[in-house]
């Protein structure tokens, strides 16, 4: 069923069973970062062992931080805010935009030189959205295309605090500035047009930093000391989303997904699916490290088309590819708007999803900032590319479970960047 470069899928009768998704990717990145900046020994369990998060881990090892462990458990010997060392070589972030942007903010406040780069896809992604505000704080950053593309060369400086209005709601922009703000005199303030995911500020608060939040504003006090911690990383809702949609659209399905993070700024996928008529409920809700988690139970349902736009977009941005698959099985037209950010992800996800869905036989109208998908459609097995994007690949694999005949999803190796055991969990549910 599986090879390195392509995955063959056949129609599935139903999905049934219990799974544990990998630890949340966003929180795993931040656990390594803040564990390294805290003073003392921190322990992280249920870490997401994807390529992206491991690239963050390796980056901090190259910055002089001792990190030991394997799989999903790591111990970090943090050295405090002033403990990082100049790396002996270029830092390679691979395909991880989170690693690149957050590290750029952090490295802008260090008293040494560093260079960060990544793979061919990452080197095309826009970085000026973080380099411009960091330069305004006093960091010296250069890169390709005037600092808009990696490789980025960073000469750390004494930073000054700023108030910055982000042009888009982006946790990566916000987090990069807040990390730089830890090294700036005074209070650094970030104001977003709409609130993006808030894992950075939640974790900073939990570790004792001086952080204030109000509406779409967050402030951090420079040189806040961070406390070492023990953290169980909740399951990644962006990973769980593929099984939530699969359970909702494949008849006679019931899927239980354990210990999933339910941060309200990440649960847009659940809100949208419930609006579509999906049978979803949460059980066993608990909290740790400033983040709630719960078991998600989903059963197959008849869905209807809805509109996804406005404040829902930052809360569903990573889940929109799999939501597009749900839309293809919903009665009526689902409209996605205000999602132009999808065009500058690992690939142009609007174009990739529209072209792929058409190959399955779905009626799709593409907009500059989204798409309209008319359903329900009986999908036809096809050969479709992931366009080198892990979330697009997994979305088309779920689509293949509902399609007649055989579906081949090409270029699937990048699934490992976020979800190495995706196919293993899917096979465990397939009946």
Tell me the catalytic residues: 318
What residues have CB less than 8 Å from 331, skipping those under 6 apart? 302, 303, 304, 305, 375, 376
Write the DSSP symbol of residue 330.
S
CB 113 within 8 A of CB 154: yes
Residue 72: Cβ-neighbour burial (10 angstroms; 0-12, 13-18, 19+): middle
Residue 352: Cβ-neighbour burial (10 angstroms; 0-12, 13-18, 19+): buried
Please name the residue ranges forming H helices in 155-282: 171-181, 199-206, 237-249, 268-275
CB 7 within 8 A of CB 1: yes
What is the C-alpha to C-alpha distance for residues 299 and 306, in angstroms, rounded to an integer?
19
Identify which of 171, 61, 148, 162 has the alpha carbon closest to the alpha carbon of residue 109: 162
Number of C-beta neighbours around residue 266 at 10 A = 29
CA angle at residue 293 from 289 to 298, to 5 degrees?
Answer: 170
What is the C-alpha to C-alpha distance for residues 208 and 303, in angstroms, rounded to an integer?
44
Please name the residue ranges forming H helices in 44-189: 51-62, 97-107, 128-136, 144-147, 171-181
What is the C-alpha to C-alpha distance for residues 360 and 396, in angstroms, rounded to an integer?
9
Residue 424: Cβ-neighbour burial (10 angstroms; 0-12, 13-18, 19+): exposed
């Amino acid at each position: 069923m599986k090879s390195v470069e392509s995955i063959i899928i056949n129609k599935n009768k139903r999905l049934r069973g219990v799974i544990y998704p990998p630890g949340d990717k966003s929180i795993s990145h931040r656990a390594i970062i803040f564990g390294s900046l805290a003073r003392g020994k921190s322990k992280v369990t249920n870490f997401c062992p994807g390529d992206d998060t491991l690239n963050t881990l390796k980056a901090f090892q190259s910055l002089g931080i001792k990190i030991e462990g394997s799989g999903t458990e790591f111990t970090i010997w943090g050295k405090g805010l002033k403990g990082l060392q100049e790396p002996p070589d270029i830092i390679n972030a691979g395909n991880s935009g989170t690693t690149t942007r957050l590290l750029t903010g952090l490295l802008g406040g260090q008293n040494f030189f560093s260079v960060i780069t990544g793979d061919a896809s990452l080197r095309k992604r826009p970085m000026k959205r973080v380099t411009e505000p960091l330069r305004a704080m006093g960091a010296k950053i250069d890169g390709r295309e005037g600092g808009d593309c990696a490789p980025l060369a960073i000469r750390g400086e004494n930073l000054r605090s700023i108030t910055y209005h982000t042009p888009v709601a982006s946790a990566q922009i916000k987090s990069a500035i807040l990390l730089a703000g830890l090294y700036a005199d005074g209070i650094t303030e970030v104001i977003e047009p709409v609130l993006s995911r808030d894992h950075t500020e939640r974790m900073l608060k939990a570790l004792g930093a001086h952080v204030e939040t109000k509406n779409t504003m967050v402030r951090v006090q420079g040189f806040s000391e961070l406390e070492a911690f023990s953290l169980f990383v909740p399951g990644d809702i962006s990973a769980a989303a593929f099984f939530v949609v699969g359970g909702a659209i494949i008849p006679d399905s019931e899927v239980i997904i354990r210990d999933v993070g339910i941060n309200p700024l990440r649960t847009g996928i659940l809100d949208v699916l419930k609006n579509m008529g999906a049978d979803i409920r949460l059980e066993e809700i608990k909290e740790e490290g400033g983040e709630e988690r719960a078991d998600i139970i989903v059963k197959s349902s008849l869905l209807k088309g809805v509109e996804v736009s406005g404040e829902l977009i930052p809360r569903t941005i990573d889940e929109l590819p799999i939501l597009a698959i749900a839309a293809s099985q919903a009665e009526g037209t689902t409209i996605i708007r205000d999602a132009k950010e999808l065009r500058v992800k690992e690939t142009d996800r609007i174009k990739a999803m529209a072209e792929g869905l058409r190959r399955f036989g779905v009626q799709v109208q593409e907009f500059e900032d989204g798409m309209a998908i008319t359903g329900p459609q009986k999908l036809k097995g096809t050969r479709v590319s992931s366009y080198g994007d892990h979330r697009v690949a997994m979305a088309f694999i779920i689509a293949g479970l509902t399609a007649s005949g055989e579906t081949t999803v090409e270029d699937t190796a990048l699934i490992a960047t976020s979800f190495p055991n995706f196919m293993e969990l899917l096979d465990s549910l397939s009946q």
